[in-house]
Amino acid sequence: MDAVLVLVRVVLAGVFGLAAVTKLADLTGSKDAMRNFGLPNRLAVPAGIALPLVELAIAILLLPVGTAWWGALAGLILMLAFIVGIGYTLSQGRTPDCHCFGQVYSEPVGKSTLIRNGVFAALAAILVLQGPDGQGASLTGWLRDVSTADRVLLILAALVLGTLAAIGWVMVQLLQQNGRLLMRIDALEMAASTDGQIAGAAAERADPSPTGLPVGTNAPAFSLARLDGETVTLDSLRVGGRPVVLVFTDPGCGPCGALMPEIGRWQQEHAEVLTLALVSRGTREANAAKAGEHGIGRVLLQQDREVSQAYQSVPTPSAVLIRPDGTIGAPAALGSDAIRSLITRTTAGPVPVLPSSPNGNGSAPARPASRVGQPAPAVTLPDLEGKAVSLQEFHGERTLVLFWNPGCGFCSRMLDDLKGWEATPPTGAPRLLVISTGTVEANRAMGLQSTVVLDQGFETGRAFGAGGTPSAVLIDAAGVIASEVAVGAPAVLALAGTSAEHAGSAT
């Protein structure tokens, strides 16, 4: 019996120790997991740090026979708390990633998670029921009492188990790498196909199981909420005639977190040729923290994985290309390298259209029609104080609508000229409305006198036909669009009534 109790203690200590070490190596993921399970941010952060420390303490307590009962009791309480929390989460129809062993092993919670935790709880209960004085022999004493032959067998068994675990880990890595290599080969074949069309062989290999929906099929429609609560549909993302890339991520996914800085940069650098949207899951707070850290706009939240499943692109990170005609433009890109390749191919030139596409003609999308003379889109956005501001409030006088981003280098270089224009506006200059992205603090720090409202998803800019920042459009006193979209500091300042010579200083 002593041998059984010692084995139970060692197994539980190994489980809690591994869980603690892997979580400590990925504290960001641990905090995000707490948010995904419904904890508010003010509790998720300390809980994400405290949990691995508690697990580590339990692992340490389980090893010495004198403290093993207390470690088993703490482990049983923690496992029961896990079971209750996961059970409640499943009852709400949510399946966040468990982040059980950090980046080493994490999967959506389900019945298997409850069963696994139940087994660990039962092992801890066995120790608890034995009482403080019934925890078996001490490890050192037990090892000292076994025969030399048994010690050799134990060492060999440990070596075999360690070797098997290492081989399993290597096999998983090789399989993942092999999948990434196959995806990159497909991407290279697509890029090398003649006349910008998809080679027949590559299209035939667009198997919906490993690589998403077949190329050329209609992209499934969806309707998701942005971080600010506004609803975004696939049709609204396609406004402007640009290809759309949906990047599927998860706040608890380590590789996703590593890709975030590049996603923010892609959204800024390729805004005029590509509409990139992040489709994530989890809580609004967890995703807002990630997006705010890297200046990412247009973050859409799915309830679980309903959109990922519709596009057959469930692994994270992964991405799907949608052509301007609303059809799938490439096999799903699985993994960071494949996503980078997809972005490079898409922004390097026109997105190819298969001859068989119902709406495609094999050419690049036409330039959006001029909006001059059309009524300006209805706009109501929060200002820096949180008050709703409507564009209709500006009717009765000419208004320059300026699309801005405090993190944009071109905007930063233009800022002094814009402040000078505000201080001494030319005769007949229009009123200024700044529609910006970024945080309230970053926008306040600019020190602009004009009204600044926030549109984190750049939806208003696209509604006016703008593709990036800085850009602007003039609205007449009747609320009608009176100019084409001016792009860049010189064009914006010229539209505002500044001389070309003055505008040149902003470049």
Beta-carbon contacts of 494 under 8 Å, excluding residues fewer than 6 positions away, are: 486, 500, 503
pLDDT of residue 178: 54
pLDDT digits (tens, 9 = 90+) for 77-93: 999 998 998 888 778 76
Question: In angstroms, rounded to a whole number, what is the distance separating the alpha carbons of residues 288 and 446?
Answer: 22
| Residue 492: domain span | 380-504
Nearest to 496 by CA among 476, 472, 478: 472
Which strands, in side-by-side order, build the sheet including 318-322?
Answer: 231-233, 223-226, 299-301, 275-280, 244-248, 318-322, 333-334
Whether 152 is in a domain gets the answer no
Q: Which two tokens stand for residue 24?
A: 């400590």
Q: What's the confidence (pLDDT) of residue 38?
A: 72
213 and 330 co-located in one domain: yes
Residue 169 banded pLDDT, cuts 50, 70, 90:
low
Place of tokens 């403290």: 67
Distance CA 402, CA 434 (A): 5
Residue type for 180, please? R
For position 213, which CATH number holds?
Answer: 3.40.30.10
216/333 same-domain check: yes
Contacts 24+ apart (CB under 8 A), 303-308: 303/93, 303/94, 304/93, 304/94, 304/95, 305/108, 305/281, 306/222, 307/220, 307/222, 307/224, 307/246, 307/248, 307/279, 308/248, 308/279
Output the six-digit token pair for 476: 């007449």
pLDDT tens profile 411-462: 888 888 899 898 888 888 899 999 988 788 888 888 899 999 998 777 788 7
Given a cut of 50, whether residue 358 has pLDDT beyond it is: no
| 331 plus 206 within the same structural domain | yes
C-alpha–C-alpha distance, residues 321 and 327, integer Å: 9
Task: Give the pTM.
Answer: 0.38
3-class secondary-structure state, position 299: strand
What the block records as the tokens of 47 is 């809980």
- Structural domain includes residue 178: no
In a domain, 481, yes or no: yes
Provide the token pair at 473.
């459009």
- The total number of structural domains in the chain stands at 3
With beta carbons less than 8 A apart as the criterion, state whether 81 and 118 touch.
no
Q: Which helix (H) or strand (E) holds 451?
A: strand 451-454
Radius of gyration of the chain (CA): 29
The helix-helix angle for 27-36 and 284-294 (nearest 10°) equals 140
pLDDT of amino acid 183: 46
Contact, 224 vs 300, CB < 8 A?
Answer: yes
DSSP code string of 120-184: HHHHHHHHHHT-TT-S-S-HHHHHHHS-HHHHHHHHHHHHHHHHHHHHHHHHHHHHHHHHHHHHH
- Asked which of 300, 326, 348 is the last residue of a domain, the reply is 348
Query: Do 337 and 384 have their domain in common?
Result: no
> Which of 121, 145, 169 delimits the end of a domain?
145
Q: Which residue has the higher pLDDT, 339 or 465?
A: 339
pLDDT band at 70 (very low <50, low <70, confident <90, very high): very high
Q: Output DSSP code: residue 56.
A: H
Q: Rounded to whole angstroms, how far apart are CA atoms 280 and 56?
A: 31
CA distance linking residue 167 with residue 19, whole number of Å: 20
Q: How confident is the model at residue 66 (pLDDT cuts 50, 70, 90)?
A: confident
* Same domain, yes or no: 119 and 223: no
pLDDT surpasses 60 at 171: no
Q: Can you tell me the distance from the alpha carbon of 55 to that of 61, in angstroms, rounded to the nearest whole number?
A: 10
CA 478 to CA 480: how far, in whole Å? 6
Co-location of 276 and 202 in the same domain: yes
Last residue of a domain, one of 348, 364, 396: 348
